[in-house]
Structure 1
Amino acid sequence: MRWSRASICLLSLCSVGVHAASLTVPEDGALELPDSVVTGSAESATGPVQGYAATRSASATRTDTALHETPQSVSVVPRDVIDDISATRLQQALDQAGGVGRANNFGGQGLTTFTVRGFTTGEFYRNGFPINRGYPNSPDANTLERVEVLRGPAATLYGRGDPGGTFNVVTKQPLAEQRTTIGSQFTDQGLRRGTLDTGGPLDEEGRLAYRLNVVGEGGDSFRDDVESERYGIAPVLSWQVSDDTRITFEGDFMRNNHPLDRGLTHYPGQRGQPSHSTYYWEKGTDNMLHNDNDMVQLRFEHQLNDDWSLAGGYQYLDGSLKGNAVEANGIAADNVTLNRNFNYRKLEWTDHDFQLNLTGHFETMGFAHTLITGVEYEDYDYSSIINRSTAAYPINIFDPVLGQPRPALGNITTHDRENLKTWAAFVQDQIALTERFKVLGGVRLERFEHKYDDLRINNADWEKADNAVTPRVGVIYDLTDSVAVYANASKSFKPNSGAARLGGGFDPEEGKAYELGMKWAALDGLLNIDTAVFHTIKENVQTVDPVDPSFRIAAGEVRSRGFEVNVAGELTPEWRVIGGYAYVDAEVTKDSTLPKGTRLANIPRNAFNLLNVYEFHDGALRGLGLGVNLKYVDERAGQTTATTYTMTDYTVTDLLSFYKVNEHLRLNLDVRNVFNKGYEEGSFNAYAYPGEPRTVQTGFTYTF
């Protein structure tokens, strides 16, 4: 792995030198560069975005629809944003979308959960296919073309999920012309990273093309004794079989080795907190979780005629999370000694997903229709075993002595198998009643069969089958050529996991949401300004069984309502911005033990973020970009409990800079959390995850 990282970095440096050596300077000193031709095309729903203001998306409708005509709040974080902030993680891109906050990061493992509109969600899709099965790795930032946030329920098109929001990652696709970009990023905290992005045609006609992204990184972090490594390869191959048919193969093979870093603890009576860098779990190569994920997609598009098209595909996921870790059992009577347990876990999962969609454009009675209908089948398998120690394994949180002898394993807390099969069909129609007034309506019928096998002695097996109907309706009206108002209502559902006291599973969670909003394409469309008010209710939330607190029942209800505003685009040709503000009031409205009004974990009442970047286009500073990234997060409850700890509010300021030396070489120097603000970015039960301190990151990309 060290050799791989070093090779990528060395390849980057050598390529810069080779390219420079290939330029011949005449004796008179005049350097002649070859003529270049700049070509452009209109933005598509899945293609690159010029600047920060996307105009089209397919996430909310599964059709290529203008955002200005979509009756729902959708934010797009384009590739230019990802490049400007020199992001290495999907999380950093999502931080730029208004109202999206961080929650449980699984101790540095897998795909982090986020908060949207008052609910915690991990509903991630990749090019329209679900990838949040099991404990998957997060897609690397190097593979991203655009990241889209769909606020509110998305069950009509995507099936089971949380009502707060859904994320769709649109990945880089093959290029029409050969291009290669190599790069490296380094931080003063110890991160070392090398990337390769190459693509182009494979035949003279350009019908066969490819894209290949490679990443290798590793090193230290701001957390003491926490080292990790991550490497992956993501190939894409497209074949234009005919003028009407395209087939695309895409893979993503990621390996992530990282200790289970549960952050800091917040137990009642605990005597304060050590520094955010203090790590009181365990260290060493034998205290590591290995997260391996393989993803394969085979997609196709076929144009039946000028009005109708067929599309779909198949996705296969295979993953595992294996290794040793240390977690907490509570705090001792002295309130400084943490009771821990050593554990081994082996989690494995596979997922098969098939999709087939038919899209048509036609007119009836003078009304223009965009109709999409589809079917989907998914087969998800998951198995897990977690074996924990029972003997004492204490440590002082203020003076941790790591490397203690490990206690023996002997308490199998989890040993199970789970299978979830779903069959679904949906239909959606977008109707232009007039040039300014448009209506969207859709409904999804889904059946799921859930089977759970408990392999422990108590053998609490169960099977459950259920049907779900998830409709939605939306309307949008253009008040002017640049201002539109809209409204929508929709439902969601999500199967509950676990076993009830009397056996069997639970009824699924059900959500319903209402939204009113406005979309303004300001400055002749250069700046998108969206506002919305929303009201969402989720029922059948698991709560404590009043008969036996060791079991759960699906009888709780939570409610979230609020207001949000999001902006993205350009204020001037040099000045671009993206960000938003959200006010969220989220609380428990019904529960067997919690009082009404209990705040939901990780949900701030107020959150604000704004990225400002100014790039000089003329003069001596041409190619220089300077930026400020501001983020404010209000205080949050650490747990959804009657008595909880509170994560304090915080403001973080990032400074960024880049310099485009020429059309090939780009340098960057960024300082994140420039004022070194100490804060906690999210929590999971008694664990809270400290945010990144002041961090300097520098690097380059070279394109040829």
Structure 2
Amino acid sequence: MKYFVPLLSLSIALLPATGFAQNTPLRHHEQQRGSSKNGTVTGRVLLADGQPAEQVSVRLKGSERGTVTAADGSFALKVPAGWQAFVVSCLGCQAQEVAVEVQPGQAVALPPFTLARGEQQLQEVTVAGAKSLNQSTPSAGKMPIAPLDNPQATLTIERPVLEQQQALRLSDVLTNVAGVYVMGTTGGAQEEIASRGFAYTSANTFKNGVRFNNGIMPEVSSLERMEVLKGSAAILYGNVAAGGILNLVTKKPLFERGGSVGLRVGSYGFVKPQFDVYGAVGESRQVAFRLNGTWERADSYRAGVKSNRVYVNPSLLFRLSPKTELVIEGDYLRDNRTPDYGIGAIGYEIQESRSRFLNVADATNATNQTSATATLTTRLNSTWQVRAVGSFQRYDNELRSAARPTSIVGTTAGRRYGDWQRGLQRTQTAENYYLAQVDLTGMLRTGRIGHTVLVGADADQYNTNTLAFISQAYDSLNILNASRVLGQPKGRVTGFDAMRYNTRTLGNTRRAGFYAQDLIGLTDQVKVLAGMRWSYQETPSDVYTYPALALPATNAPTVAENRRYDNAFSPRLGLVYQPVKTTAIFASYSNSFTPNSGVDVRGNNLAPSLIDQYEVGIKNDLFKGALSANVTAYRIVNSNQAQSVLPTDPRFATAATASPQELAGQVTSKGIEVDIQSRPVNGISLIAGYSYNHTAYTRSNLYEDGSRLRYNPAHTANASLYYSFANVFANNNFLRGLSAGLTTYYVGDRLAGRNPRLLDPTTGKPWATNGTASADAFKLIALPNYFLFDASVGYAYERFSVRFKMANLLNELSYNVHDDNSINPIAPRTFATTLTYKL
């Protein structure tokens, strides 16, 4: 990323160490510590227009002791007591000194002064991944604490990395994150993400701290960064799955004028123009804007598959006062594409292919997603802040598609091997989502103990309206020769418009939560993070079922009502020990919950399943912060998973429902993750990682103990190396803009298909999911391991830049699979070129 920077004029404000910004990496113990021989100097650096100035040097004169300002311009530096001189400097400014008396065991603020402009003008600055792993505080954590003080694995991928790697989809970004992976691409319209054996549903995916429907692939071009909180986030967000959360942070308004326009072209007719403009509104210093967007169309390596997308992301920043800001953000995505359930399988055997397409020619998946979010942030004083968020999201989807390729003939008796009777499916979904949230964060002391406190509340509501049509037979074909239709059965449906209503489901989920969390600094080396959340959830739904033979215009449906009321407590407790300033050893326990939809033998709704999570790890900043290396081990136990009550259980005979359930199963996930990330050093930047996971049934009446859950790779590994030749060709204006990168990603040992079930001792047949006996002989499918290698070359000259990328250099073939039917091949070797002009 390039910025054209004029002479800088900065001022230092007489402010104590703040710690109120969401992304402030200011260490808690740096603010609180004190001793008989040392004191702390604090302050804040601002640009002339009032914006915080990051990475400004503050140094104790005559020593190597110093620091740089954080994202909000704040700094804190521990120094010996007595009169001390400090040098404040930045590129483009004339260094100046200030002297101050430091009292033992106390914090003192530097007096205000203004840095004068230097005589040397900086024409161009190249910024690429300025922070390492343990220097970025995710805003999704809601608290202004540094990663080294947080007893949880976190990771942030910044915008420069996305540009270097030419990330197109969220899966491209995830190749930089150990242990977060794509578990499936059912229908080809979304990327199903998971971590630590648990799927990231729409409850686990966020944009700017607000949940969004992940039924469609989000747009990556608008991202400023992607934040990952691994493990439990239930205390902050309620009923999220146990594996962690993703938070996509979009680009924000800036007062300096700038932007870019670009064009990306690639294999299979891919074309994507894009733009990004920002600046002050008129000559205002109180209102700024940003507007970015794209249009995209493409064919596919999958025969018959096409896509078309439009995306716009506008935002406004209002400086209502020196301490209060309001950000209003919009988001619009229209995504139309061919639904694609893959190549099919015969008898749990994948029939290898990359291009075979089994859907009908007029299949469509059309989605419109619109959202608006307002975020109000006000600083009550130098250490306390209130942040309020209000958001609305609208999601509309219509699917017209052949059903997933199931029940394909696996023998030659009567029909040919691979024959399949193809049916049609159709659904319409409309969803309105509302959110209100308020957080209070700040710092205080009780005696010698320091506290960083979060207190908050949130409430949200989902209104859903889902219309499903009756799936009906359409025609027959052989999947090994899908171009030839074999026949059309009697009574078949003639097309999507002739399909009849089946059910309409009206949902109105309402949730509320209250939470509090405290990072307690017991000593300089020992910290405790403790908190609790209480969540309440109502899940009413009305299901209207239409008579099968009635025309849509004359349907007289029957209505089935269902009401659920759940509540749960989610505690969190973590311990951090820092033997040295650059190393943190941590252990934590947290608890999350998952609502259940079944009923017990008495007909009562099942209580939520409570999931215990244990995590230990070590975080390290090496080579003066140039490299971060973290290792985390975890164990997640759902010891009260919902499972069927079997007919052999005496309670089954008197059960109030035909399919009673109980909270008696258990699933255990355990593993280890390694995350490595560097700041750019001499033009080199590195991201690497490794993960191991084993998620299995450890108690079940349907599956054998130790049976692995599907879709979760046992091993993943990633490495990305990027090099800028600016230092090598520092004196050559033509060649200094050259860069190159290599990314590799490994996915190994995954299972799909269906887990084999235990046998009914009386019939000798496997149990079905409803507790009855079944003749199905379910099997697992072992999916091929694969390595992805991507290479890129970039060149920038003045305001122009061009990047060339080759993805999947080895043309590896593997699959993302759902059950034994939706089998989607990964993309082959592809090429892409992006041309950009900086405004």
TM-score by length of 1: 0.89
Among candidates 636, 646, 661, match of residue 553 of structure 1: 661
Correspondence list, 1:263-282, <5 A: 263-268=342-347, 272-282=350-360
Counterpart Cα distance in 1 of 2:199 and 2:820: 13
Counterpart Cα distance in 1 of 2:200 and 2:346: 25
Deviation per residue, 1:23-42 (Å, 9 max, x gap): xxxxxxxxxxx984478514
Aligned match of 1:605: 714
For the pair 1:389 / 2:495, whether they are aligned, the reply is: no
For the pair 1:318 / 2:433, whether they are aligned, the reply is: no
Among candidates 381, 385, 388, match of residue 305 of structure 1: 381
What letter corresponds to residue 574 of structure 1 in structure 2? G
- In 2, are the aligned partners of 1:183 and 1:700 still within 8 Å (CA)? yes
- In 2, are the aligned partners of 1:59 and 1:150 still within 8 Å (CA)? no
- Cα 1:203–1:65 change in 2 (3 A) is farther
For the pair 1:75 / 2:155, whether they are aligned, the reply is: yes
For the pair 1:370 / 2:458, whether they are aligned, the reply is: no
Counterpart Cα distance in 2 of 1:607 and 1:140: 25
Correspondence list, 1:598-637, <5 A: 598-617=707-726, 618-619=728-729, 621-637=735-751
SS at match of 1:82: helix
SS at match of 2:624: helix
Correspondence list, 1:416-431, <5 A: 416-431=505-520
Among candidates 349, 352, 369, match of residue 293 of structure 1: 369
- In 2, are the aligned partners of 1:266 and 1:645 still within 8 Å (CA)? no
- Cα 1:64–1:56 change in 2 (3 A) is farther
- In 2, are the aligned partners of 1:45 and 1:64 still within 8 Å (CA)? no
- Cα 1:540–1:412 change in 2 (3 A) is farther
- Cα 1:59–1:536 change in 2 (3 A) is farther
RMSD: 2.5
Deviation per residue, 1:425-471 (Å, 9 max, x gap): 00011111112221111100111111121212675432111211001
Among candidates 38, 41, 45, match of residue 54 of structure 2: 41
Q: CA deviation at 1:205?
A: 4.3
Counterpart Cα distance in 2 of 1:35 and 1:645: 56
Q: Does 392-401 or 666-675 show the bigger shift?
A: 392-401
Aligned match of 2:578: 478
Correspondence list, 1:119-134, <5 A: 119-122=198-201, 123-132=204-213
Counterpart Cα distance in 2 of 1:627 and 1:382: 45
- In 2, are the aligned partners of 1:518 and 1:530 still within 8 Å (CA)? yes
- In 1, are the aligned partners of 2:395 and 2:430 still within 8 Å (CA)? yes
Aligned match of 1:407: 493
Q: Does 59-68 or 152-161 show the bigger shift?
A: 59-68
- In 1, are the aligned partners of 2:422 and 2:473 still within 8 Å (CA)? no
- Cα 1:269–1:152 change in 2 (3 A) is closer
Counterpart Cα distance in 2 of 1:590 and 1:210: 55
- Cα 1:146–1:402 change in 2 (3 A) is farther
- In 2, are the aligned partners of 1:233 and 1:252 still within 8 Å (CA)? yes
Counterpart Cα distance in 1 of 2:658 and 2:821: 18
Among candidates 613, 623, 645, match of residue 781 of structure 2: 645
Among candidates 177, 183, 186, match of residue 262 of structure 2: 183
Among candidates 678, 693, 696, match of residue 828 of structure 2: 693
Among candidates 407, 411, 432, match of residue 330 of structure 1: 407
Counterpart Cα distance in 1 of 2:165 and 2:602: 52
- Cα 1:35–1:174 change in 2 (3 A) is closer
Correspondence list, 1:198-277, <5 A: 198-268=277-347, 272-277=350-355
Q: How many residues matched?
A: 664
For the pair 1:562 / 2:662, whether they are aligned, the reply is: no
Q: Does 512-521 or 651-660 show the bigger shift?
A: 651-660
Aligned match of 2:563: 463
Unaligned runs of 5+ in 1: 1-33
What letter corresponds to residue 293 of structure 1 in structure 2? Q
Among candidates 131, 152, 164, match of residue 231 of structure 2: 152
Q: CA deviation at 1:293?
A: 0.5
- In 2, are the aligned partners of 1:298 and 1:313 still within 8 Å (CA)? yes
Correspondence list, 1:673-692, <5 A: 673-684=808-819, 686-692=821-827
- In 2, are the aligned partners of 1:52 and 1:569 still within 8 Å (CA)? yes
Q: CA deviation at 1:499?
A: 6.7
TM-score by length of 2: 0.75
Among candidates 768, 784, 795, match of residue 659 of structure 1: 795
Aligned match of 2:93: none
Q: CA deviation at 1:503?
A: 5.3
Aligned match of 1:15: none
Q: CA deviation at 1:412?
A: 5.2
What letter corresponds to residue 273 of structure 1 in structure 2? Q
Among candidates 135, 157, 164, match of residue 243 of structure 2: 164
- In 2, are the aligned partners of 1:320 and 1:349 still within 8 Å (CA)? yes
Counterpart Cα distance in 2 of 1:337 and 1:623: 57
Q: CA deviation at 1:559?
A: 0.6
Q: CA deviation at 1:171?
A: 1.3
What letter corresponds to residue 361 of structure 2 in structure 1? K
- In 1, are the aligned partners of 2:424 and 2:474 still within 8 Å (CA)? no
- Cα 1:63–1:144 change in 2 (3 A) is same
Q: CA deviation at 1:653?
A: 1.0
Aligned match of 1:592: 701
Counterpart Cα distance in 2 of 1:151 and 1:179: 35
Counterpart Cα distance in 1 of 2:722 and 2:272: 24
Q: CA deviation at 1:159?
A: 0.7
Unaligned runs of 5+ in 2: 9-46, 48-52, 56-69, 75-126, 547-557, 757-778
Counterpart Cα distance in 1 of 2:661 and 2:484: 40
- In 2, are the aligned partners of 1:638 and 1:686 still within 8 Å (CA)? no
- In 1, are the aligned partners of 2:301 and 2:355 still within 8 Å (CA)? yes
- In 2, are the aligned partners of 1:530 and 1:565 still within 8 Å (CA)? yes
Q: CA deviation at 1:211?
A: 1.0
Counterpart Cα distance in 2 of 1:100 and 1:454: 35
Q: CA deviation at 1:576?
A: 0.9
Q: CA deviation at 1:688?
A: 2.1
- In 1, are the aligned partners of 2:186 and 2:817 still within 8 Å (CA)? no
- In 2, are the aligned partners of 1:52 and 1:77 still within 8 Å (CA)? no
What letter corresponds to residue 407 of structure 1 in structure 2? V
For the pair 1:283 / 2:365, whether they are aligned, the reply is: no
Counterpart Cα distance in 1 of 2:832 and 2:659: 47
- In 2, are the aligned partners of 1:440 and 1:474 still within 8 Å (CA)? yes
For the pair 1:495 / 2:595, whether they are aligned, the reply is: yes
SS at match of 2:163: helix
Aligned match of 2:120: none
SS at match of 2:508: strand
- In 2, are the aligned partners of 1:542 and 1:552 still within 8 Å (CA)? no
